Amino acid sequence: MAVTLADVAARAGVSPATVSRVLSGSYPVTEGTRGRVLRAVAELEYVVDGPASALAGAGSDLVGILVNDLADPFFGVLAAAVQGELGGAAGLGGEKLAVVCGTGGSPQRELDYLTHLQRQRAAAVVLTGGAPEDSGHARALAARVARLAEAGTRVVLCGRPPQDPEVAAAVPPAAGRARAAVPPVTLAFDNRGGARRLTAHLLALGHRRIGCVAGPAGRTTTAERLAGHRDALAAHGIVDVPARTVPGAYDRSSGYDAALELLRRQPDLTAVVAANDTAALGVCAALRDRGLRIPEDVSVAGFDDLPFSVDAAPALTTVRLPLREAGARAGRLALGRAVAPPGGVATLSAELLVRESTGPVRPGAATAGGGGGAVSGRVGSGRSGG
The 10s digit of each residue's pLDDT in 264-301 is: 999 999 999 999 999 999 999 999 999 999 999 999 99
Q: Could you tell me if 101 and 38 are in contact, meaning their C-beta atoms sit under 8 angstroms apart?
A: no
Q: Could you tell me if 27 and 17 are in contact, meaning their C-beta atoms sit under 8 angstroms apart?
A: no
The vertex-49 CA angle with 143 and 25, nearest 5°, equals: 100
Burial class (CB in 10 A: 0-12, 13-18, 19+), 56: middle
Q: Could you tell me if 184 and 145 are in contact, meaning their C-beta atoms sit under 8 angstroms apart?
A: yes
Q: Residue 381 pLDDT more than 70?
A: no
Among 240, 274, 280, 271, CA closest to 365: 271
Average pLDDT over residues 195-201: 98
Numbers of helices and strands, H then E, in the chain: 13, 12
Q: Residue 302 pLDDT more than 90?
A: yes
Whole-number mean pLDDT of the chain? Answer: 86
Please tell me the distance from the alpha carbon of residue 59 to that of residue 40, in angstroms, as a whole number. Answer: 27
Q: Could you tell me if 86 and 50 are in contact, meaning their C-beta atoms sit under 8 angstroms apart?
A: no
The vertex-217 CA angle with 211 and 219, nearest 5°, equals: 115
Highest mean pLDDT (candidates 20-29, 180-189, 224-233): 224-233
| pLDDT at residue 58, rounded to an integer | 42
Q: Residue 374 pLDDT more than 60?
A: no
Average pLDDT over residues 161-185: 75
Q: H or E segment at 279? A: helix 277-289
Q: Could you tell me if 122 and 153 are in contact, meaning their C-beta atoms sit under 8 angstroms apart?
A: yes
The vertex-311 CA angle with 262 and 375, nearest 5°, equals: 40
Given strand 124-128, what is the order of strands in its sheet?
A: 97-102, 62-67, 124-128, 154-158, 185-189, 345-348
Highest mean pLDDT (candidates 23-37, 88-102, 361-375): 23-37
Q: What is the pTM of this model?
A: 0.80
Average pLDDT over residues 108-130: 94
Q: Which residues contact 235 (CB under 8 A, 6 or more apart)?
A: 196, 200
The 10s digit of each residue's pLDDT in 215-226 is: 999 999 999 999
The 10s digit of each residue's pLDDT in 23-44 is: 766 567 788 888 898 888 878 8
| pLDDT at residue 34, rounded to an integer | 81
Burial class (CB in 10 A: 0-12, 13-18, 19+), 356: middle
Average pLDDT over residues 45-66: 64
Among 181, 114, 217, 159, CA closest to 346: 159
| pLDDT at residue 187, rounded to an integer | 98
Q: Could you tell me if 357 and 43 are in contact, meaning their C-beta atoms sit under 8 angstroms apart?
A: no
Preceding amide of 184 cis, omega within 30: no
Would strands 62-67 and 345-348 be described as parallel, antiparallel, or unpaired? unpaired
Question: Hey, how many other C-beta atoms are within 10 angstroms of the C-beta on 301?
Answer: 28
Percent of the chain clearing pLDDT 70 (strictly above): 85
Percent of the chain clearing pLDDT 90 (strictly above): 66
- CA atoms within a 13 Å half-sphere pointing along the CA-CB vector of 368: 14
Q: Could you tell me if 291 and 370 are in contact, meaning their C-beta atoms sit under 8 angstroms apart?
A: yes
